[in-house]
Chains A and B, each alone.
Chain A
């Protein structure tokens, strides 16, 4: 008989825990909530007593301040400032309150949180607009900062982030002791920066970019509300007697949000496709450049293809003999069957040195 190693002999349990099922299991883990504790959490999200007045004041103040910080950060192109604004932003709370009101079927809290979200949204866009009016400076619709631009073309990646962040937000809320993670959730799924971007873009009359940022915000809003609601139900934060009394009506109440999720996913999928197409096009162009001039080093390139039209702007560092742009344009058109506008800048690097003693 051969000696056996006990460690290698241990067989995995039959119901294998993959990382996803492990996470799902943790989310579903039930806490011992008393009704008083539940009420306390709900009131923190959106009070339905006399605490509502200071709550709204605090919300309005933080909303204006966070949007102002975000708008300045976006205009100044400072990622750090924009992240700071996310930490100050109070919008996550009424969204979680909205999720709770949907699962608890609390009409007053539902109306209250929806009103607050609408007012917060409109107010944030207006604040972004005002900041851009005052401090927009040299920004124009065609020269937005990269911090602004990244918020104008959301993709399915953003939807994935928003769903995961909604789950995280719901988890933090429904599991005691996980509270310190909420700022991270707020950073992952930014609500105020997209709104500030809408305001800034509107002031610059960049309507397409404003719509893109509004789509990002809508994606985050819908995904957070829906996934937080799901967590509240499965984790037992919504007590069994409410779930039983609702008899399937929770699903019905969440249905419009599911439809809304599909509605935002469609343009996101179109954006994603366009981004992937541009990436593929950029790879093809890069390959064509290698044939055109094997010595050429691409310093930067912006390739944009939509249908059978494309524009490429690029800077290349060249060897002594530079190749003609038209040859590259002709090659790309012949290979990729696309009408192309090509703009090539040639760069020569030179070094100069001096010493004194």
Chain B
């Protein structure tokens, strides 16, 4: 008789959190801010609110979580509200607004936001404005290996068909054109949703995009299926993405571009947002061997710009909380962070000379000059879809290459929709 005993250890995954507070030990009133910024970003946010703390004699305690979407829901379920939360998803914020959980902006703060952003204000519900836009990033960018581009005489593509041609040319020269990976722990899939949004915005235009984001256009619409297929041309064409499907699904998105900087580049292009700057490997030097170009439009016109960012919203109506909300909505709020780099202000009155990083200044210019700006669709859609089936559907699509079935699976996430069955 044999007896075998197998003991297995299962690592459930990493959860990360960052907390910051000022180090003095006095007993000032505390404003708790909860968000997604961690590590250096958390420190920079701490520095951002320091002038406010001094001016108003309060202490801002910031806590950042790597699983914000889950944790904020849990906190609300536990009635353990932060004073302010920094939402990456306006839709999550409006969902809470609809439930009466977050406080509408004060009349002054709301008027200032309206004056700054006009039609582009996000996070409104029932005529009230709930969020102030604090930090922005531009998503419609392609990071590329600029020294190899120069050495081989590749031109920055001016239109989508140029981009397709360039992709094929790079392949013909024996190099894998794209880097792409989507692993993001509980948020895996969002990288894919950005691709689809950028493609829909280019193939169908901004009005169609708005209807799709609002849920008026189904994911099963032929236009959305076509966008999935366009993305599929990149993902599922053998040899087009470094490491293929396996790497796309299993490599953390922060490490996506790393093969680009191998001695023999493992890829030459990576579509990712401006915030990728802080995740570049040490061997990457902006302006020397890497740079960005805008993801081109389909017809060669001024490309639309997909943006994302963080919106602050208050769960408490104490006067000090309202003051901090007002502060975060001002262009001056971003000055400290911009002076440290890695920050782009969405505010049209933010002075370009406040940027110390040339890259941040360029991104700020892109944002300011863009004629068509749209917020990241998945962050605006009903969370059950936007941060639910749309995220998970992208993983399904990468695995299965079945655009129509994927579209049905994503659409089934809408409340009241027929459950999706494979």
Contacts and interface: CB of A to CB of B under 8 A. Distances in A.
Contact of B20 (A333, A346, A347, A351): A333
Contacts of A180: none
B65 A315 contact: no
Interface in A299-345: 308-309, 315, 322, 324-326, 328-330, 332-334, 337-345
A356 interface: yes
A23 B89 CA distance: 73
Contact of B46 (A328, A339, A348): A339
B143 to A, nearest CB: 24
B22 to A, nearest CB: 9
Given A325-B66, A333-B20, A356-B1, A341 B6 contact: no
Contacts of B39: 341
B13 A325 contact: no
Interface in B2-55: 2-21, 23, 25, 32, 34, 38-39, 42-43, 46
A344 B8 contact: no
A326 B9 contact: no
Contact of A343 (B5, B14, B63): B14
Contacts of B10: 347-350
Contacts of A341: 16, 18, 38-39, 42
Interface in B259-277: none
Contact of B19 (A326, A346, A356, A357): A326
B8 A325 contact: no
Nearest to A332: B19
A326 B64 CA distance: 7
A357 B74 contact: no
A324 B65 contact: yes
A308 B20 CA distance: 10
A245 interface: no
A2 interface: no
A339 B25 CA distance: 14
A326 B72 CA distance: 11
A354 interface: yes
Contacts of A332: 19
Contacts of A308: 23
A343 B23 CA distance: 21
A326 B61 contact: no
A334 B16 contact: no
A353 interface: yes
Interface in A57-102: none
Contacts of B211: none
A355 B4 contact: yes
Interface string A160-201: 000000000000000000000000000000000000000000
A63 to B, nearest CB: 35
B71 interface: yes
B61 A333 contact: yes
Q: Which of B3, B17, B23 has the most CB of A within 10 A?
A: B17
A357 B1 contact: yes
Contacts of A328: 17
Given A326-B65, A352-B8, A337 B21 contact: yes
How big is chain A's contact interface, by range? 20 to 34
B4 A354 contact: yes
Nearest to B12: A346
Interface in B57-111: 61, 63-67, 71, 74
A354 B19 CA distance: 46
A88 B177 CA distance: 54
Contact of B65 (A309, A325, A347, A352): A325
A315 B11 contact: yes
Contact of A326 (B3, B17, B21): B17
Contacts of A337: 21, 23, 25
A329 B2 contact: no
Contacts of B34: 326
Contacts of A330: 19, 32, 61, 63
Q: Which of A332, A342, A357 has the most CB of B within 10 A?
A: A342
Contacts of A333: 19-21, 61, 63
B62 to A, nearest CB: 9
B45 to A, nearest CB: 11
B43 A346 contact: no
A286 to B, nearest CB: 17
A230 to B, nearest CB: 46
B12 A355 contact: no
A324 B5 contact: no
A344 B71 contact: no
A351 B21 contact: no
Contacts of A309: 43
Q: Which of A325, A352, A356 has the most CB of B within 10 A?
A: A325
Nearest to B24: A337
Contacts of B63: 326, 329-330, 333
A324 B66 CA distance: 10
Interface string A96-112: 00000000000000000
A349 B7 contact: yes
B198 to A, nearest CB: 32
Nearest to A317: B9
A356 B2 contact: yes
15 contacts: A315-B11, A324-B17, A325-B17, A330-B19, A334-B21, A339-B23, A339-B42, A341-B39, A344-B14, A345-B12, A345-B13, A345-B15, A347-B9, A351-B7, A355-B4
Given A349-B10, A353-B3, 16 more contacts: A308-B23, A322-B12, A325-B16, A329-B17, A330-B19, A333-B61, A339-B18, A339-B42, A340-B20, A345-B13, A347-B11, A351-B5, A351-B6, A352-B7, A355-B3, A357-B2
Nearest 9 CB-CB pairings of A with B: A333-B19, A357-B1, A329-B19, A325-B17, A329-B17, A326-B17, A326-B65, A346-B12, A325-B15
